[in-house]
A = this chain, B = another copy of it.
Amino acid sequence: MTKLLNDPADAVPDALRGLALAHPELAVDVGARVVSRAGGTRPGKVGLVSGGGSGHEPLHAGFVGHGMLDAAACGAVFTSPVPDQVLAATRAASGGAGVLHVVKNYTGDVLNFRMAAELADDDGIAVETVLVDDDVAVTDSTYTAGRRGTGATLFVEKVVGAAAEEGLLLGELAALGREVVQRSRSFGVALSACTVPGSDKPGFELEPGRMEVGIGIHGEPGREQVPVGTAREIAAISVGAIADDAPLGGEDVLVLVNGTGATPLLELQVLAADVHAAVQERGARVVRMLVGDYVTSLEMAGAMVSVCRLDERLTRLWDAPVATPALRWGR
């Protein structure tokens, strides 16, 4: 796989240098690989921290800013940040009212965020954790015990981020984050695999004309390989898997049609129309839809569908102003 890099071992710090140059509103600590708001966290506001392996850009550093994260810890590609990084992000995000960790359910992330939370506690920073495990495709995989965390991470970061700006307390934000997780489900397919920089082979082999169904976000294998379907068929498979897990009824939903990195926006928009139709056919109303590359897997071609059941409060928090590199509206 041809990549646009210098030394593959420097991919993450090199990318963080580019992020910093394009976004002076961020404070980027290239050495610690921690990104936070240049202005810091407002005193009295709960800090919101996420992080994980790199290779999923714009997640998480691209979601640092008003109405979303206070800091992100960026691990090596597809590798959890170490506890010291998470601790540094937690300190950067602390405004004296505690810090909430948003953690995707991968074994390394869970362990390292837990250790960082204990270290932060020794520092006198109270930490609560929301675990995101929205992917209905598989339980247990190369990287996980239990379900994987994917697109719903964005939902949690946006909704809880808005609530944190409004002054909610640490425990309230943790409960809200868990509610968003509980209301969210995701499922995706890949039309091509991806290769970690410096590696000489992709995460799985895919014959031409076939797709991997039920993918994760690390290029790991999914449920099965089948002949490539049309956008309409892929929408039916994805929405069907989501509805099999948690029936879609008469509620209002937020839908993310997320590109995995190498999918043209033209194709994502085609899929979005079919996903919209598939969700509505099941009786739910799509009241908000986001289409683009938000949680990626390097140069994987494919898409992941995430659905969150809304209520009036969640809709209001979703619509609240946000100003980050990758998500921005309302101010």
The residue in chain B whose Cβ has the minimal distance to the Cβ of A57 is B265
- Complex-state Cα separation, A301 to B3, whole angstroms: 9
Known: A4-B231, A191-B4. A18 touches B264 (CB 8 A): no
- Asked if B2 and A211 make an inter-chain contact with CB atoms under 8 angstroms apart, the answer reads yes
Whole-angstrom CA separation of A16 from B266 in the bound complex: 9
Q: CB distance A273 to B208 under 8 Å?
A: no
**Chain A 89-121 interface residues, beta-carbon cutoff 8 Å to B:** none
Give the number of times this chain occurs in the complex, counting copies: 2
CB pair A301 B264 closer than 8 Å: no
Q: What separation, in Å, do the CA atoms of A290 and B22 have in the docked complex?
A: 6
The CA-CA distance from A141 to B16 in the complex, in Å, is 37
Within 8 A of B (CB), among A219-239: 228, 230-232, 234
B266 adjacent to A57 (CB under 8 Å): yes
- CB of B22 within 8 A of CB of A289, answer yes
A175 contacts the other chain (Cβ, under 8 Å)?
no
List, in ascending order, chain B residues with CB within 8 A of A230's CB: 5-6
Q: How large is the interface on A (under 10, 10 to 19, 20 to 34, 35 or more residues)?
A: 35 or more
User: Residues of B contacting A257 with CB < 8 Å?
Assistant: 18, 22
Interchain CB contact under 8 A, B4 and A276: no
CB < 8 Å neighbour of A274 from B6, B77, B261, B272: B6
Determine the distance from Cα of A12 to Cα of B265 in the docked complex, in whole angstroms.
11
A269/B2 in contact, CB under 8 A: no
Contact residue among B192, B232, B270, B328 (Cβ-Cβ distance under 8 Å from A15): B270
Q: Does A150 contact B (CB under 8 A)?
A: no
Cβ-neighbour of A262 out of B5, B11, B261, B272 (below 8 A): B261
| Interface contact B231-A6, CB-CB below 8 Å | yes
Contacting chain B: which of A42-50, A154-162, A177-185, A291-299? Answer: A291-299
A265 pairs with B21, CB closer than 8 A: no
* Whole-angstrom CA separation of A267 from B62 in the bound complex: 14
Is A17 at the interface (CB under 8 A from chain B)?
yes
Note all chain B residues with C-beta closer than 8 A to A265.
Answer: 57-58, 62, 261, 293, 296
23 A–B pairs (Cβ distance < 8 Å), ordered by A: A2-B191, A2-B208, A2-B209, A2-B228, A4-B302, A4-B303, A6-B270, A6-B274, A14-B270, A14-B274, A15-B266, A15-B270, A17-B269, A18-B273, A21-B272, A21-B276, A22-B290, A22-B291, A55-B266, A77-B266, A261-B265, A263-B299, A264-B299
Q: Which residues in A have some Cβ–Cβ distance to B below 8 Å?
A: 2-6, 11-12, 14-19, 21-22, 54-55, 57-58, 62, 77, 191-192, 208-209, 211, 228, 230-232, 234, 257, 261-274, 276, 286, 289-291, 293, 296, 298-299, 301-303, 323, 328-329, 331
Besides the known contacts A5-B231, A14-B273, A261-B264, 4 further A-B residue pairs in the complex with CB atoms under 8 A apart: A4-B231, A11-B270, A54-B266, A261-B262
